[in-house]
Amino acid sequence: MDIASSTLCQAHKINLTRQPSSRVNTCSLGSVSAIGFSLPQISSPSLAKCLRKQSSSGFVRACVAVEQKTRTAIIRIGTRGSPLALAQAYETRKKLQSKHPELTEDGAIHIEIIKTTGDKILSQPLADIGGKGLFTKEIDEALINGHIDIAVHSMKDVPTYLPEKTILPCNLVREDVRDAFICLTAASLADLPAGSVVGTASLRRKSQILHKYPSLTVEENFRGNVQTRLSKLQGGKVQATLLALAGLKRLGMTENVAAILSLDEMLPAVAQGAIGIACRTDDDKMANYLASLNHEETRLAVACERAFLETLDGSCRTPIAGYAAKDDQGNCFFRGLVASPDGTRVLETSRKGPYVFEDMVKMGKDAGQELLSRAGPGFFGN
């Protein structure tokens, strides 16, 4: 049993239609349901105790089963400790085990929780913390230093550059890219009364909300994991919030969704809904494992969107949205957007071309160059 399982067993699933239960689920050795999704079967009959240690590098060593024989993990997966990050790590483990029988042995895959800068600093807006890689830096360091073998990331958290000695050769099948509207009193953003407060940590969402609904107010330091944000909403700190539908689906929490926003109403973040898995450049064994999981259609779409973001040199202070997908004719259709932080100006563009890596990267870069030219100096207030 690893610390990921232990952490999840202590978490509550938030249901906005009733008060949260004060009961805490405890782990059993069977299938455990926590945070709205089922954990894999846990079979450690000789489990004696769990030990948790914090190292100077910031990563937490997982709880280990004390057994008569010590088993060395074939793959050590690094991930953040949020329920969503853990769900993505378990999804990765499940896919690896389905492809490779040797990984189904107990203890063959070990999940290592790593606390990142973005997890540690919750009192400030992301834009004020500054820098890139707020949710990936410490995980990348653990990968480079050999503490883990692969790193599982939400692709929208991954900077457009990768650290030296690492590659990101794998994207899992992409989930729904749209944003979900969460509210106890209204069915849509348009139904919110003037002056209503919408909570979000995303300038992308803030700018698009204010552009279309200037009578609303946006609380931009609305941070925390999905469960924390839903609790704040239920407590009346805001009247509504927006969350990525992909995350809610992975957590089994779609019952909280009041409406799903169309792409015309809210263009998603670059790489939203995509999971990326990185390994070291010199680790052919892990690269081969990841090659068996890669979904090429997703990888190409993400590459197109990230080329757009890289061209714009986007940061947490830059409202940017972009989405690439295969159309009915098998071509790539890309839409991109940049906005002023207050939403008073929004610039959009689109591209269409062959669903081929080189063409799609070129489309993303070209779209970014166009919007940079149209925006002009000082557009983002940087």
Is the CATH number of domain 72-172+274-294 3.40.50.10860?
no
245 pairs with which residues across the strands?
A: none
- Please give the single-letter amino acid code of residue 116: T
Domain segments of the chain: what residues?
A: 72-172+274-294, 179-260, 296-381
CA distances in angstroms from 12 to 7, 20, 244, listed in the order given = 11, 8, 19
Q: Give the 3-state secondary structure of residue 58.
A: coil
Please check whether the two domains, 72-172+274-294 and 296-381, share a CATH topology: no
**Which residue stretches of the chain have pLDDT < 50?**
1-15, 17-70
- pTM flag (> 0.75): yes
Domain 296-381 superfamily per CATH: Porphobilinogen deaminase, C-terminal domain (3.30.160.40)
Nearest-Å Rg of the Cα atoms of the chain is 21
Q: What is the per-residue pLDDT for 122?
A: 59
CATH entry, 179-260, from 3.40.190.10, 3.40.50.720, 3.40.366.10, 3.40.50.300:
3.40.190.10
- Told to judge if 157 belongs to the known catalytic residues of this protein, a careful annotator would answer yes
Asked if residues 17 and 184 have their Cβ atoms less than 8 Å apart, the reply is no
Q: What is the per-residue pLDDT for 125?
A: 59
Q: What is the per-residue pLDDT for 71?
A: 60
Alpha helices in the chain (DSSP H): 3-9, 83-99, 117-120, 126-129, 137-144, 203-212, 226-234, 245-251, 284-291, 296-312, 357-375
C-alpha span between 117 and 223 (Å, rounded): 13
- Of 149, 157, 179, 283, the catalytic one is 157
Q: What is the per-residue pLDDT for 47?
A: 34
Q: What is the per-residue pLDDT for 221?
A: 78
Q: What is the per-residue pLDDT for 31?
A: 33
Q: What is the pLDDT of residues 54-86, one digit of tens each?
A: 344 444 444 433 333 346 899 999 999 899 999
324 pairs with which residues across the strands?
A: 334
Adjacency order of strands within the sheet including 75-79: 53-54, 59-61, 109-114, 75-79, 150-154, 275-280, 166-171
Please report which helix (H) or strand (E) contains residue 218, including its range.
strand 217-219
Q: What are 221's two structure tokens?
A: 């330091």
